[in-house]
């Protein structure tokens, strides 16, 4: 079996928990804020893609289950 024919099994990531605590500052830390928003958007997109993949995946009968 060549490298290209092998299937890679990607294990699902653990769900991340993002905690944001407010700290009073004169100016907000825009870098930290933007990174938090990006992480939230990526997590949401990943959940939506996973849900779409699960609904579109065709159901195939298991091999060997039809014994004749």
* Rounded Cα–Cα distance for residues 10 and 47 (Å): 16
* pLDDT for 14: 78
Q: Phi, psi (5° rounding) for residue 32?
A: -65, -40
Domain residue ranges in the chain: 30-56
**Does residue 65 carry a pLDDT above 80?**
no
Torsion of CA 39, 55, 63, 9, to 10 degrees: -10
* pLDDT for 18: 84
Give tens-digit pLDDT for 7-63. 666 677 778 888 888 878 889 889 999 999 999 999 999 999 999 888 887 666 667
């Amino acid at each position: 079996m060549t490298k290209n024919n092998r299937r890679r099994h990607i294990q699902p990531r653990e769900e991340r928990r993002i905690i944001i605590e407010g700290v009073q500052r004169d100016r907000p830390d825009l870098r930290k804020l933007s990174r938090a928003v990006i992480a939230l958007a990526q997590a949401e997109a990943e959940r939506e893609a996973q849900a779409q993949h699960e609904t579109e995946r065709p159901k195939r009968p298991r091999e060997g289950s039809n014994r004749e």
